[in-house]
Chains A and B, each alone.
Chain A
Amino acid sequence: MTMRVDNHPVLGKQGNHKQVTIYFNGEPHEAFEGDTIASALMAKGIYSLRHHEVSGNERGIYCNIGHCFECRVKLEGRKVVRACLTPVDDGMEIYSLSSFGERND
């Protein structure tokens, strides 16, 4: 079931977006151009974006506008970005950050 708000009673219909594919921890997901990593994954019902460094507990978005840094994820090439501020690209590879205990790199 889609979580997209295609028709909104006041904002109207969502325009036609170009579909792209992103990879989250190796799994392919379709997303729309203009999505952020956070919105694309939330549309697929994915809430957990990383594991806390110490406790290993799951973490997802909190503020969605870049202030809290809770949604940090790793892109290929090890660059860590905020999922809520980073637009998706076709073929983008995104990885969860793991707890210190699980890290071997």
Chain B
Amino acid sequence: LKLWNLLIIGAGPAGLRAAIAAAEEGLEVKIIDEFSKVGGRLLGQLHQEPSGKWWNGIEEANTLHQKAINLGVAIECGTSVHDLESSYLRWKVYTSKGVEEAENLLLATGATEVPLPMPGWTLPGVMSIGAAQVMGNVHRVKPGNSCVIIGANVLSIAIANELRLCGIEVKEIIIPLANISSKDDGNPEKVMESLMRLTHLAPSSFLRQAGKLAKLVNPSIAAKFYPKNGIKIDNIPIKIKTAAAEIIGDQKVTGVKTVQVKPNGEIIPNTEKVTEVDFVCIAGGLAPLPELAALSGCSFKYVHELGGHVPVHSERMDTNVPNLFVAGNITGVESAKVAMAQGKVAGLVIASAVKGSSETINAAIKKAVNEVRKVREEALIQFQPNIVDARKLIYRQFEQDKVEDRVVSIS
């Protein structure tokens, strides 16, 4: 059995970029991914940047893929990882095809969509917004001719336009009813607040306007005066005071029963209406996908701004488990560009651990860490405010855990 210097789980932007950085330093690297194509969430991404240039995730993925192949990185798609263990400084990773062994392991598993359970959501034709995105942009199949999107956030507004480009009529973007699982997503004031927090860099003119509006009025006033029939962007009405009461259909979706809600999310009686559609998208946002990190025994911290529980790690992308590294959305939900920059840091840090540190590689790591900070600042899609502070919280926890480990081993 081959012993890899570095095994990477996840062939998305973080995993691919890490593989390239490590292979450039002479490491033997393998990447495993359970999807049939390389690129992870990059594959679905398609939006226009303020410069007018299109961010085409498929092209970005192809470029990274080709670079990795040219550097001799082994890439295995269609393989799932279900367990891992470390003994005598060797990782054993159990996959659907067998076992892999490596000195270093990088988890770049990305993020998963947060479900918003509601009546009727198990009907065929109800899917996550990311599912529709992949169906349209990657498989080039429309899940139907018309849809409603439930959940008004930066991701759903961006993908609504992508569905429109596939020739799908997005009849409206509405919100879920306020309940224990939808939380702030079902509160128009909170939805308005989060849309207005988006900066002038946001990937749509509506969001840029909302960002400017935020400087003038507060979100609860904006929610109060938000028009009942919504504001259109790319011809798609965004209705933050219309909520999905039930998804209806027999054996398959036929429509969404909606109600009008007050700015605090309370239902306004006698406002029921049915919007007929072929399919429904649920947009509950993203959360880090950390199960494999949990199997390794590494410690976690819940950080709301990062999307949920994340493995405690340093800015060098190492965790408190020896030879275990993380990069990309598993460390917190941010854009693909941030994931790539983090991947590069991880690849270089692992290379310096394998090959020995030198002035050159230390300088390269320092530069790569600074690059992550810069990319984060300039990020087009900022999923949450205060990302920088939330990140610092994780890095502090990492240092604290290290000190506690030392105290335990002395006593």
A residues with CB within 8 A of B? 3-6, 8-11, 14, 35-36, 38-39, 42-43, 47-49, 52, 57-68, 84-87
Check B193 for interface membership: any CB of A closer than 8 A: no
Q: Is B262 an interface residue (CB 8 A)?
A: no
CA distance A61 to B279 in the complex (A): 11
B143 contacts the other chain (CB 8 A): yes
In the complex with contacts A63-B128, A64-B134, A85-B140 CB distance below 8 A = no
B58, A47: Cβ atoms closer than 8 Å: no
On whether the beta carbons of B143 and A5 are closer than 8 Å, the reply is: no
* Most A C-beta atoms less than 10 A away, residue of B56, B80, B143: B143
Does B310 reach chain A (CB closer than 8 Å)? no
Q: State in angstroms the CA–CA spacing of A57 and B120 once bound together.
A: 11
A64 to B143, CA, bound (A): 11
Contact of B127 among A5, A9, A64, A66 (CB under 8 A): A64
A60 adjacent to B141 (CB under 8 Å): no
CB-defined contacts of B124 to chain A, threshold 8 Å: 47-49, 58-60
In Å, the complex CA distance between A5 and B279 comes to 16
Contacts of B253 in A (CB 8 A): 47
Contact across chains for A6 and B128 when beta carbons are under 8 A apart: no
**Inside 8 A of A14's CB, which chain B residues have their CB?**
140
Q: Is B328 an interface position by the 8 A CB rule?
A: no
| Number of residues from B at the complex interface, CB < 8 A | 40
SS of A interface (majority): loop
Complex Cα distance A42/B143, Å?
Answer: 6
Q: B131 at interface (Cβ–Cβ under 8 A)?
A: yes
B112 interface neighbour in A5, A39, A52, A67, Cβ under 8 Å: A67
Bound-complex Cα distance A19 to B127 (A) = 27
| Interface bits B109-148 vs A (CB < 8 Å: 1, else 0) | 0001101000000111111101110111101111110000
Known: A8-B166, A58-B124, A85-B35. 17 other contacts (CB 8 A): A3-B144, A10-B54, A11-B137, A11-B140, A35-B139, A39-B135, A42-B141, A47-B124, A49-B124, A58-B123, A61-B127, A62-B115, A63-B130, A64-B128, A68-B128, A84-B131, A85-B34
Residue from the list A3, A4, A9 in contact with B165, Cβ < 8 A: A9
Question: Contacts A47-B125, A58-B123 known; A5 to B131 CB distance under 8 Å?
Answer: no
CA distance A60 to B131 in the complex (A): 12
Contacts of B26 in A (CB 8 A): none
Residue in B closest to A47 when the chains form the complex, CB atoms: B124
Task: Tell whether B360 is near chain A: CB-to-CB under 8 Å.
Answer: no
Q: Is the CB of B123 within 8 A of A61?
A: no
Can you list 27 A-B pairs, Cβ within 8 angstroms, ordered by A?
Answer: A3-B142, A4-B142, A5-B166, A8-B137, A10-B56, A11-B56, A14-B140, A36-B139, A39-B141, A42-B143, A43-B141, A47-B125, A48-B251, A60-B126, A61-B131, A62-B115, A63-B128, A64-B130, A64-B131, A65-B35, A65-B130, A65-B131, A66-B35, A66-B80, A85-B78, A86-B36, A87-B78
Q: Measured between alpha carbons, how far is A104 from B58 in the docked complex, in Å?
A: 45
- For B130, list chain A residues within 8 Å (CB): 63-65
Q: Judge whether B252 is part of the interface by a CB distance below 8 angstroms.
A: yes
**For residue A36, which residues in chain B have a CB less than 8 angstroms away from its CB?**
36, 139
B80, B131, B252: the one contacting A47 at CB < 8 Å is B252
Bound CA–CA A66/B253 (angstroms): 22
Complex Cα gap A54–B296 (Å): 34
Q: Of B35, B56, B140, B252, which is within 8 A of A4 by CB?
A: B140
B127 and A63 within 8 A (CB): yes
Contact with A along B263-301 (1 / 0, CB 8 A): 000000000000000010000000001000000000000
B140 contact set on A, CB distance < 8 A: 4-6, 8, 11, 14
Residues of B within 8 Å of A35, CB to CB, are 139
Interface residues of B in 157-179 (CB under 8 A from A): 165-167
**Residue in contact with B139 in the complex, picked from A6, A9, A39, A48, CB distance below 8 Å:** A39
Q: Could you say which residues of chain A place their CB within 8 Å of the CB of B35?
A: 65-66, 85
The 8 closest A-B pairs by CB, nearest first: A60-B124, A64-B131, A47-B124, A39-B139, A5-B140, A48-B124, A43-B141, A3-B142
Q: What is the CA–CA distance of A57 and B253 in the complex, to the nearest angstrom?
A: 13
A62 touches B251 (CB 8 A): no
Residues of B with C-beta under 8 A to A65: 35, 130-131, 134
Task: Kindly identify which residue among A8, A11, A43, A62 contacts B128, using a CB–CB cutoff of 8 Å.
Answer: A62
A18, chain B: closest CB distance, angstroms: 15
A66-B125 contact in complex given A5-B142, A10-B56, A58-B251, C-beta closer than 8 Å? no
Whole-angstrom CA separation of A2 from B263 in the bound complex: 41
From B36, B58, B131, B136, residue with most partner A Cβ within 10 Å: B131
- B336 adjacent to chain A (CB < 8 Å): no
Least Cβ–Cβ distance between B407 and chain A, in angstroms = 39
A39 to B131, CA, bound (A): 11
